[in-house]
Amino acid sequence: MSTAKIRIEPEGIQIEVEKGSDILSALKSHGIFVPHPCGGRGKCGRCRVHVEGLPHNEAELALLKPFEVEDDIHLACQSIVNSDCIVHLHE
């Protein structure tokens, strides 16, 4: 099993997850809630988080505005963890 580390800000905590996990599931499995009214199916766009260190995928690009992509905003339900990253949760 190959893992990656996610540092969560502003909490300042670090979790270890299996590579290939989506951010939403990884956070949920560690008791961190991110709103996801569509059930994590990539339909509503409400699970936006700022992520440093991960590329965007096609599902995210379809829902995000260009300025959000430039600002490293991701959809937690669609963003796949393939390497260590930093997730900034919105208030």
Q: Over the stretch 29-75, which tens digit does the pLDDT of each residue have?
A: 999 999 999 999 988 889 999 999 999 999 899 999 999 999 999 99
Pairing of strands 85-88, 3-9: parallel
pLDDT of residue 91: 55
Cβ atoms of residues 54 and 79 within 8 Å: yes
Question: Could you tell me the pTM of the whole model?
Answer: 0.91
63-83 per-position pLDDT tens digit? 999 999 999 999 999 999 999
pLDDT of residue 81: 96
Is the model more confident about 65 or about 1? Answer: 65
Quick one: pLDDT band at residue 8, thresholds 50, 70, 90? very high
DSSP 53: S
What token pair was written down for 36? 């996801």
> Backbone phi, then psi, for 26, in 5-degree steps?
-60, -45
**What is each CA distance from 21 to 18, 25, 30, 67, in whole angstroms?**
6, 7, 13, 25
pLDDT beyond 80 at 1? no
75: left (phi over 0), alpha (psi -120 to 50) or beta: beta
What token pair was written down for 28? 């949920």
